[in-house]
Chains A and B, each alone.
Chain A
Amino acid sequence: MDAQRPRWQPLQRIRRLLQRNADPNLARIKRRKALYALIGRRIAVLRLSLFFAGYIWMLAIPSSQLDRGVYFDENAMQPAQVNTYWSWKEVHDADRFLDQLELLRDSNATSEQRSQFIANEFRKIGLAASTQSYEFTGVNKGINGSNAYAILSSPRISGVEAMVISASWISRTNEGDGTLNLRGVATVLALSKFLKQYSLWAKDLVFIISDGYMDGMQAFLSAYHGQTQSNLRAQALELTSGVIWTALNIDYPGHSLSHLGIFHEGPNGRLPNQDLLNSFQHIARRTGVPVVLYDHRDDLEYLHWLPENIRNHREIRTYFTQARNLWRHIGYQASGRGSGVHGLFHQYRIDAFTMFALPAAGPHGFHSLGRIIESTLRTTNNLLERLHASFFFYILTNSDRFVKIGNYLPSAILISVAMMFGGLQVWVEAAWAKGPQEEAKTPGAAPMTWVKRRRPILEVLFIMVFTHLFGAMVFFIMSSETYSYFQLAPFLLFLAAYALPLTIPAITPQKRSEAIAPLSLVLKAFNLCLSSTVISIITVLNFSLAACLAVALGIPLSTASSSSTKAVQMVKYSTYVVLGLGWILLRGFAERMIWNWDVLSAWLLPFLCIVYFPLTLQVALVCII
């Protein structure tokens, strides 16, 4: 019997577990206590593994394991199911329009002359056309221009819905470096003439030739939707149509095209419905034009340092191709500016993207482009409702592959959870202090005593509110008109922002009793919890920005600590302030951000000033208090 005992022991244990003679509540509380004790003991390991998992996950997003092929969700769209009628006659029309536009370009025509010419061409086609002049005041004084637009009131319909076909005068090449989008404009003109011949449109068609790169469309759309922008004087529109559902923006700067690129990011992290992009890339492929994401042709020259057999491995090629796309995506989305003119439509709940004709010697041109646009318009024409199926949260890793929200969101969330755990841990630590060692009655293990102490919440909250107000002040200085006049302004602002918070340790009481927790601990706890909350909220609004924050704040904020020597304290303080506000010294970067805020209302500048910088400032203060 005794010999058999060990064998039966596990079974008996199970039986004991199943027996319900013990109080179940008691058992639950016991289990819970044990779990929390475990978490408490292993918190350091847990945090480290969460950080590790988060960063690894982030690096894994471009891999082909996390993404999947695109598919259609909205069955009404029926892409590439129609015969297209665009033919060489229309190509000829487009060429004639192009000739006239080139004449305009060579004669250095003003904005007004240009828009008047385009509006007249629209009128000759038989469309209701008009122009709209606009002017920005304030910081970006001198941005002005004139848009031309036409409305095709489609037969038989009430005209309450509309689709937009637009082209900006300046192409998106190098983010609007001044290359003219003449062929894009010619395409729109030829399309307007061609599309008028059909009675099958179920929505009004609005053709817009916007002046400038982004500014013209911003002026047009704010006037169309009756939004007022304090620094914009835009003429009211003489002609209007219904609610715009979809918009296609055409960018064709080169002589011919080899690929069509998709640009889809909108301002402040908005994305168009994926069905629209899917339809376009499906149609383009059917027509025979290869589609790429952005203007990335499929050559990975920057990988030349890798050995050939590794470089040509399928998995690795895919990873690096997609990583490059992802990097570009993060840049566009996090900057809050979007990747082009189409983004401006997203502000008004219009799904839009830019089809960018990659300049090349061939083989495609107006003929393929026109057919693709015609077919895409027929597809959006099929919509009975706004695009609502499919995805609004996605990351395109390639033109035909995407990562679902569930596969990318957790990476940033894991990091924010790690930060939250760190904050809670510091919070708990702040509540306890080592008590005076009791006299060891028994030699050996003298039990450590812990004494509870008060946590100064009010002071810390005061400091935090101060930092955010301080950030708001920095923001107002940066967005004011005078800021851009002084060459030295960024430098002075940085110095002020660096020096002013140094007064805080002087006004906070230095010597505290043992019964009160040090300010720095509580501040760090709050700072970590707040940063974690900010990151997890931003993940759904603008994942790219959240990922950048997770990288920029995750480890640095968690490792902040006070130091005994003044010198080390100052070094730490300076590091954190540079991390938080160093960007204002990068002249080009800051200027572009101010422009984006002023003209396009991109939120990155206020966000950096009012949320991001104060968070780093708080942690900088942790080091010196």
Chain B
Amino acid sequence: MLWTAILLSSLTFVLGQTEEFQEKLSIKSLRDGRVASSFSFSILLRDASPRDPRFLAFDDDDSHHYTLFPLTLGQILRQYAVTELHLTLNAGKWNYDAWGYPDESGVGVGAELRAWMAEGGPSSIDDRWRGLRNALAGLFCASLGSLDEQRTTSPALSFPPDGYLPDWGLPHELRHASYASEHVCTENLTPFLKLLPCKSLSGLATLLNPHRLFDADWHGIGLHVLWHPEGVEVRLNVQLVSDPIRISSSRKQDWSFKTLFDRKVQKPCPVAKSSLVVVNLPSSGIYRVDPEPSFIKDGKAYYDLTNSPGSWNIKTVWPGDFEYPFSDSTPLVPFSVRRKLLSSAQDTGKLSIVVTNNQEEQLDLLYLETMPWIIQFYLHTARVYSDENLISNISYTLPVPHARPGTFESVLTLPGRSTLTFAMDVQKAFLRYTEHPPDAQRGWDLPPAVFTPLAHNGSTKQMRQFYTPSLLVDLATPDFSMPYNVIMFTCSVVAFIFGSVFNVLTRKFVIVRLEANGQK
């Protein structure tokens, strides 16, 4: 019975699948004169489902017949039976206060990878997680191999699945890892573009000019795979925040495809079901949008580029120079976070989090710290500087030195318009000589903390994660250079002199003549 079901499902997978490709670009002028662009390419594999890990034992997976769906990615997903996957590679610090929430919430600096996988079958989740990491590292030319056991965590609440988890009767588990030192660059973008049906030859992907993308103040690429009853969806997205004032060297915030990307959309991607450009219109002021949009709805101008020939250079023009907002403007997000590792000592420090609720309503935040073992929390020193006890549901997974990171998850409650300071002493590990990286004196990047606002019923579903900037920590580092040798040498000399002087002071040398006993 089961066998027929599998056969049937794989048959439908091969024959009955329909694939859809949609692309969308939304552009928004930000309060500080910058322009946020967000590309989203989504490929839907209709009626497909993720692979059940129990079938990994049978080498009968013949569903690698795709037309639009990227084959290399599909192979990886099926090889390691991944239900849901999120990979982001970002550079820069997302300024929530001035830029608001991003279209795609994964804006943590560096590389972040998380996957939901079902337990069961011949290979364990951790084996498949290792394989997945390495496969993606190869696919994207990124240092995802560094996301090893020393960085992998499984937070319980902060990252619920975006899609659905199939009801196979198997427990699903999350694996999450982030690596703040990863730098995103052209070598990551090229394989990324290869996953698109039209590459960067036509359609909106034409605009992804590496010279401009990687000069943007903030830029990131993301890959999201999720399953919902319609099928398996792959979403590839690129976000960037450019500064037209810096690029143009005039004081104007005007932007166009030409100034932002140094390219225009010359021809449409023929296989795209829809190709849409959405421009968020400024709420006030005089400006001109060019060309005339297809339609305007809710303060957004929509351009339908689907199968439309001709070159597109959408632009917005302001008559006057841009003036920076003079007074302190209110943040665009419901809460603001400042996170800092205080003290300049090399053995201890203090992790300090200041959260401000910008709203009138009470706010419940899920706070997640995933710390490499080089930083160990002293939980008993955790203090919340506020009138009430506003921290609850603490769960803490202890780090294991040289093996496992620590995971700290808790719920912070902020009354309306309040500021909460959370501080905790930390201990900095003393590393083994060989554990230091080649640039030992730089310090270690610590992953960002993640805040997730909880809905009033306490669920995290449909809530967007909020990433703090990463941190740099100085550990006690031996000076791997000449003075180090000098210090060692000097110490030896001092020890030698001390020994001699001590001998002289405490011992007395006399000549003892031993009578030759019986001999001669």
Residues of A that sit less than 8 Å from B by CB: 26, 29-30, 32-33, 36, 120, 123-126, 153, 155-161, 196-199, 225-227, 236, 240, 242-243, 347-349, 384-386, 388-389, 392, 424
The reply to whether A158 and B511 form a contact with Cβ atoms under 8 Å apart is: no
The reply to whether A153 and B93 form a contact with Cβ atoms under 8 Å apart is: yes
Q: Which residue of chain A has its CB nearest to the CB of B441?
A: A385
5 residue pairs of the A-B complex, CB under 8 angstroms, read A120-B326, A125-B324, A157-B93, A199-B217, A225-B343
When each residue 227-250 of chain B gets 1 if its CB lies under 8 Å from chain A and 0 otherwise, what string results? 000000000000000010110010
- For residues 477 through 508 of chain B, which have their beta carbon under 8 Å from a beta carbon of chain A? 479, 481, 483, 504-505
B404 close to chain A: CB less than 8 A? no
State the CA gap A384–B215 with chains docked (Å): 20
Point out the residues of chain B lying under 8 angstroms from A160, CB to CB. Answer: 180, 445, 469-472
The reply to whether A385 and B439 form a contact with Cβ atoms under 8 Å apart is: yes
Question: B201 CB to closest chain A CB, in angstroms?
Answer: 27
Please count how many residues in chain B sit with their CB below 8 Å of the partner chain's CB atoms. Answer: 51
Give the interface centre of A120, A123, A161 by most chain B CB atoms within 10 Å: A123
The reply to whether B217 and A155 form a contact with Cβ atoms under 8 Å apart is: yes
Point out the residues of chain A lying under 8 angstroms from B222, CB to CB. Answer: none
B54 close to chain A: CB less than 8 A? no
Question: A508 CB to closest chain B CB, in angstroms?
Answer: 26
Given contacts A155-B216, A388-B479, A389-B481, 13 further A-B contacts (CB under 8 A): A36-B504, A156-B91, A156-B218, A158-B92, A197-B246, A199-B246, A225-B342, A347-B344, A384-B439, A384-B442, A385-B439, A385-B440, A386-B474
Q: Which residue of chain A has its CB nearest to the CB of B490?
A: A540
Point out the residues of chain A lying under 8 angstroms from B441, CB to CB. Answer: 385-386, 388
Question: A426 CB to closest chain B CB, in angstroms?
Answer: 14
Point out the residues of chain B lying under 8 angstroms from A30, CB to CB. Answer: 511
Point out the residues of chain B lying under 8 angstroms from A161, CB to CB. Answer: 472
State the CA gap A126–B323 with chains docked (Å): 8
The reply to whether A226 and B326 form a contact with Cβ atoms under 8 Å apart is: no
B266 close to chain A: CB less than 8 A? no
B130 close to chain A: CB less than 8 A? no
Question: B178 CB to closest chain A CB, in angstroms?
Answer: 12
State the CA gap A175–B445 with chains docked (Å): 40
Given contacts A123-B326, A225-B343, A385-B440, contact A155 B474 (CB under 8 A): no
When each residue 338-358 of chain B gets 1 if its CB lies under 8 Å from chain A and 0 otherwise, what string results? 101011100000101010000
Q: Which residue of chain A has its CB nearest to the CB of B480?
A: A388
The reply to whether B344 and A348 form a contact with Cβ atoms under 8 Å apart is: yes
The reply to whether B343 and A226 form a contact with Cβ atoms under 8 Å apart is: yes
The reply to whether B470 and A158 form a contact with Cβ atoms under 8 Å apart is: yes
Q: Which residue of chain A has its CB nearest to the CB of B472?
A: A160
Give the interface centre of A120, A153, A161 by most chain B CB atoms within 10 Å: A153
Given contacts A29-B509, A29-B511, contact A226 B93 (CB under 8 A): no
Residues of B that sit less than 8 Å from A by CB: 32-33, 91-93, 95, 109-110, 180, 214-219, 243, 245-246, 249, 323-328, 338, 340, 342-344, 350, 352, 354, 439-443, 445, 469-472, 474, 479, 481, 483, 504-505, 509, 511
Give the interface centre of B92, B219, B440, B470 by most chain A CB atoms within 10 Å: B92
State the CA gap A388–B445 with chains docked (Å): 19
Question: B340 CB to closest chain A CB, in angstroms?
Answer: 6
The reply to whether B216 and A226 form a contact with Cβ atoms under 8 Å apart is: no
Point out the residues of chain A lying under 8 angstroms from B325, CB to CB. Answer: 123
The reply to whether B324 and A123 form a contact with Cβ atoms under 8 Å apart is: yes
Task: Indicate which residue in A153, A158, A199 contacts B180 across the interface (CB closer than 8 Å).
Answer: A158
The reply to whether B481 and A155 form a contact with Cβ atoms under 8 Å apart is: no
The reply to whether A199 and B215 form a contact with Cβ atoms under 8 Å apart is: yes
State the CA gap A227–B344 with chains docked (Å): 9
Task: Indicate which residue in A126, A236, A243 contacts B33 across the interface (CB closer than 8 Å).
Answer: A126
State the CA gap A227–B483 with chains docked (Å): 30
Point out the residues of chain B lying under 8 angstroms from A240, CB to CB. Answer: 338, 340
Q: Which residue of chain A has its CB nearest to the CB of B423?
A: A226
Point out the residues of chain B lying under 8 angstroms from A159, CB to CB. Answer: 93, 469
State the CA gap A159–B472 with chains docked (Å): 9
What 7 A-B pairs have minimum CB-CB distances, sorted nearest first? A226-B342, A385-B441, A160-B472, A155-B217, A158-B109, A126-B324, A385-B442
State the CA gap A36–B504 with chains docked (Å): 9
Point out the residues of chain A lying under 8 angstroms from B479, CB to CB. Answer: 388
Question: A237 CB to closest chain B CB, in angstroms?
Answer: 9
Point out the residues of chain A lying under 8 angstroms from B95, CB to CB. Answer: 153
State the CA gap A189–B480 with chains docked (Å): 39
State the CA gap A124–B322 with chains docked (Å): 10
Point out the residues of chain A lying under 8 angstroms from B92, CB to CB. Answer: 155-158
Tally of contacts, chain A with chain B, CB under 8 A: 105
The reply to whether A197 and B249 form a contact with Cβ atoms under 8 Å apart is: yes
The reply to whether B445 and A32 form a contact with Cβ atoms under 8 Å apart is: no
Point out the residues of chain A lying under 8 angstroms from B472, CB to CB. Answer: 160-161, 242-243
State the CA gap A243–B33 with chains docked (Å): 28
State the CA gap A26–B344 with chains docked (Å): 56
Question: A125 CB to closest chain B CB, in angstroms?
Answer: 7
Question: B142 CB to closest chain A CB, in angstroms?
Answer: 16
Point out the residues of chain A lying under 8 angstroms from B481, CB to CB. Answer: 388-389
Point out the residues of chain A lying under 8 angstroms from B504, CB to CB. Answer: 36
State the CA gap A496–B25 with chains docked (Å): 83
The reply to whether A226 and B340 form a contact with Cβ atoms under 8 Å apart is: yes
Q: Which residue of chain B has its CB nearest to the CB of A125?
A: B324
The reply to whether B509 and A33 form a contact with Cβ atoms under 8 Å apart is: yes
State the CA gap A236–B352 with chains docked (Å): 12
Given contacts A226-B352, A385-B439, contact A349 B91 (CB under 8 A): no
Given contacts A36-B504, A155-B243, A225-B342, contact A243 B469 (CB under 8 A): no
State the CA gap A388–B354 with chains docked (Å): 33
Give the interface centre of A124, A160, A388 by most chain B CB atoms within 10 Å: A160
Point out the residues of chain A lying under 8 angstroms from B91, CB to CB. Answer: 156-158
Point out the residues of chain B lying under 8 angstroms from A392, CB to CB. Answer: 483
Point out the residues of chain A lying under 8 angstroms from B483, CB to CB. Answer: 392
Point out the residues of chain B lying under 8 angstroms from A124, CB to CB. Answer: 323-324, 326
Point out the residues of chain B lying under 8 angstroms from A155, CB to CB. Answer: 92, 215-218, 243, 246
Point out the residues of chain B lying under 8 angstroms from A242, CB to CB. Answer: 469, 471-472
Q: Which residue of chain B has its CB nearest to the CB of A420?
A: B501
Question: A232 CB to closest chain B CB, in angstroms?
Answer: 16
Point out the residues of chain B lying under 8 angstroms from A123, CB to CB. Answer: 324-328
Q: Which residue of chain B has its CB nearest to the CB of A120?
A: B326
Q: Which residue of chain A has its CB nearest to the CB of B108?
A: A158
Point out the residues of chain A lying under 8 angstroms from B180, CB to CB. Answer: 158, 160
Point out the residues of chain B lying under 8 angstroms from A386, CB to CB. Answer: 441-443, 474
Point out the residues of chain A lying under 8 angstroms from B93, CB to CB. Answer: 153, 157-159
Give the interface centre of B93, B214, B324, B474 by most chain A CB atoms within 10 Å: B93
Point out the residues of chain A lying under 8 angstroms from B471, CB to CB. Answer: 160, 242
Question: A457 CB to closest chain B CB, in angstroms?
Answer: 14
Q: Which residue of chain B has its CB nearest to the CB of A157?
A: B92
Task: Indicate which residue in B249, B350, B443 contacts A243 across the interface (CB closer than 8 Å).
Answer: B443
Question: B505 CB to closest chain A CB, in angstroms?
Answer: 8
Question: A516 CB to closest chain B CB, in angstroms?
Answer: 21
Question: B209 CB to closest chain A CB, in angstroms?
Answer: 15
State the CA gap A396–B452 with chains docked (Å): 54
Point out the residues of chain A lying under 8 angstroms from B217, CB to CB. Answer: 155-156, 199
Question: A236 CB to closest chain B CB, in angstroms?
Answer: 8
State the CA gap A30–B214 with chains docked (Å): 78
State the CA gap A124–B321 with chains docked (Å): 13
Q: Which residue of chain A has its CB nearest to the CB of B215?
A: A199
Question: A185 CB to closest chain B CB, in angstroms?
Answer: 20
Q: Which residue of chain A has its CB nearest to the CB of B505?
A: A424
Question: B232 CB to closest chain A CB, in angstroms?
Answer: 33
The reply to whether A156 and B344 form a contact with Cβ atoms under 8 Å apart is: no
State the CA gap A120–B352 with chains docked (Å): 28
State the CA gap A120–B323 with chains docked (Å): 13
Given contacts A32-B509, A197-B246, A385-B439, contact A158 B216 (CB under 8 A): no
Question: A112 CB to closest chain B CB, in angstroms?
Answer: 16
Point out the residues of chain B lying under 8 angstroms from A126, CB to CB. Answer: 32-33, 245, 324
Question: A96 CB to closest chain B CB, in angstroms?
Answer: 16
Question: A50 CB to closest chain B CB, in angstroms?
Answer: 15
